[in-house]
Amino acid sequence: MFTVFRHPIPTPPCIARLNYIEQYFIPIHMNNRHYTTALVILVLLLAAGMRGYGIVERGLVDYDEAWYLLEAKTLYNTGKFALAQIGILDEPDVALGLKAFIKKRGTVPLTSIKPGHTAFLFLGLLAFGPHDYAGLFMSVISGLLTVYLVFRLGKDIFGLRAGLLAALFLAVSPFHILYSRSVYSQANGIFLVTLGAFLWHQIHSTGDRRLLSLIAPGLAVGWAFTCHFNLAYVPVTFMALEAIAIVLNRNRFPVARNRIKRLLILGCSLAAPAAVIESVGQFFKWLGVFPADYPTYLGQFAHRKPLAEALQFSTDQVPFWSSRLLQIEGAAALILATIGLAITMANLRKGSTDRALVLGLVLVALLPPSILSVANHYHMLRNIALITPAMALLVGLGGHWLISRVEALIARPLTPAFAALCVVLTVSSGLRSTELLTARSTYRQATDHLMEYMESHGGRLSARPLSAWPIWYFYLSEAYDNASPELRDRIRFYPKGINDGDFELIDVKSYYRAVIVKDQDALDVYRELRDATEPIIRVANSAAALPHKYYEAGGSGTEEALLAMAAVYPQSRSIEIYDLRNLSKPTLSSTNAALTGLKESP
């Protein structure tokens, strides 16, 4: 019986007979399990292709991506320092101490308060080497695992056909691909939340009453929180879901003491990853590796106090995230998701933990950015990235329900309709995703050219390019590792000012920062350099042309600023490197004075 409407529509006998075969697009003559496995493998291969295409060449395009990788490389270099101390590795500069050893290699202190994500990236560096694609590979892997977990959740909650549709949608979802092809923390965080949801659902769907079974989902969700602090609402949501499950299934948990124990075990498991990370930080402070005033994991949240104080109840983010979802995923996907959400809410009266879980995933993704915002702060696309697995489940349910409605009305199975819906989802979302597959960062290419130039023309590199310096520093750090001792001596990170070397590095981030914060001094310096000499290196930066809908921060004002900047400063679409030694002495003197006066701004 279909129970979505007030008056249930009887299931036709021919449909009932096909519930486990043709309704799920599985021919009678084939082994159902093997055919389903083949379909899932095809979906995963499609997901792998959309996420892995050209991933080695993709490179870093954003400040945060590079910062996270530099943090992971700090751990990597710390390991090298320790191995050199005991004679296993032969590394220069060990006698200078750990802090100087790390600083000379251009990495950064662990201050992003996303240590769970840093741990993922560190594993990537160990597995694939200290390269940019190591972090990208970890996001690709997390993205693929999320697609599979969404299939399992969709199949277990709504049926096989809904699970396949959900996995297919997520496989080609531009929003999910955006983060699965980046070094942002979202792909890893979303994977861990989805893993926690899957494990929690397995416990309650199988009737598992063991208290210790709650540890695994708790640890997964707790680790997700350490990947990004905007997932702070997720542990609270899972505590609420467990309380709801206890109430709905109180016959399974008749003893009040066991109910309390379940909540305590889940709560402790959720808090355990953060507690372990904080304990490790305190231990290293006690050893003297970190200075006494160094803020460990929990202490670093104090640096976010101004943001917390500026938090206000407001709905001004709703137009931002709703318009972005429409632009990125398209109207058809939103319609199917809306149908799925309506069906889920209509069935809540049955008291199902399944539906409560799906609705909880939707609410934890969309409710906080719908009612809260930070005053005078730009909106962040990553704040709603968690909606992707929940939206996939709803799209799968909505598509399954639509086909079932038509099947019920015409009293015959619609295998071709299911196939057609799969094709429509694949083509429409796949075409939207192609913009992401072709974007390439050319910072690595520019860095390689600069190293070749310095080998043949000499010169000292001692600069911290405004705004984009973590991107430059990651690639320069990689180049430093592979450079000759003579070239290493001419590379210095973290100068006292913005630049006290022979080269100035300018890119789209430099122009964008100067335009946004109205830094006319920086724009004047860039103009003087262009007027006085030609860049020694100019590399087209296709990442600068990334469609606005995928930009991490800002609203329509960001798009307007970028368009205006491209019109006034066409050079901003390229990466340019200038040899300051090519300037005349008066020009060099004024340029150096101007560079010394520039200050880094957010």
Question: What are the tens digits of pLDDT across the range 297-321?
Answer: 888 887 777 777 888 898 988 988 8
What is residue 520's predicted lDDT score, i.e. its pLDDT?
84
Give the whole-angstrom CA distance, residue 59 versus residue 136.
8
What is the residue-averaged pLDDT of the chain? 85
What is residue 18's predicted lDDT score, i.e. its pLDDT?
39
Amino acid found at 443: Y
Give the whole-angstrom CA distance, residue 519 versus residue 599.
9
Question: Lowest-pLDDT range, 134-148, 212-226, 411-425, 486-500?
Answer: 411-425
Give the whole-angstrom CA distance, residue 84 versus residue 492.
22
Average pLDDT of span 86-115 = 86
Question: Lowest-pLDDT range, 322-336, 437-451, 517-531, 560-574?
Answer: 560-574
Widest pairwise Cα distance in the chain: 91
- The domain limits of the chain are 13-23+153-437, 443-597
What is residue 234's predicted lDDT score, i.e. its pLDDT?
97
Tell me the C-alpha to C-alpha distance, in Å, between residue 589 and each of 229, 457, 506. Answer: 45, 21, 19
What is residue 166's predicted lDDT score, i.e. its pLDDT?
96
Give the whole-angstrom CA distance, residue 432 versus residue 155.
26
Buried b (16+ CB within 10 A) or exposed e, 179-188: bbbbbbbbbb
Sign of the dihedral defined by the CA atoms of residues 81, 83, 86, 91, in that order: negative
Cα-only R_g, the chain: 27
Backbone torsions φ then ψ of 574, nearest 5 degrees = -125, 160
Structure tokens at 30: 């084939």
In the predicted structure, residue 28 carries a pLDDT above the cut 60: no
Tell me the C-alpha to C-alpha distance, in Å, between residue 342 and each of 164, 309, 408. Answer: 20, 36, 19
What is residue 371's predicted lDDT score, i.e. its pLDDT?
92
State pLDDT tens for residues 250-292: 888 878 888 999 999 999 999 999 999 999 988 888 887 777 7
Buried b (16+ CB within 10 A) or exposed e, 230-259: bbebbbebbbebbeebbeeeeeebeeeeeb
pLDDT band at 496 (very low <50, low <70, confident <90, very high): confident
Q: Is 136 left (phi over 0), alpha (psi -120 to 50) or beta?
A: alpha
Give the whole-angstrom CA distance, residue 147 versus residue 37.
14
Structure tokens at 237: 């949501």
Give the whole-angstrom CA distance, residue 481 versus residue 485.
10
What is residue 553's predicted lDDT score, i.e. its pLDDT?
66
Most confident of the following: 91-95, 165-169, 416-420, 561-565: 165-169
Environment class of 586 (CB within 10 Å of its CB; exposed 0-12, middle 13-18, buried 19+): exposed
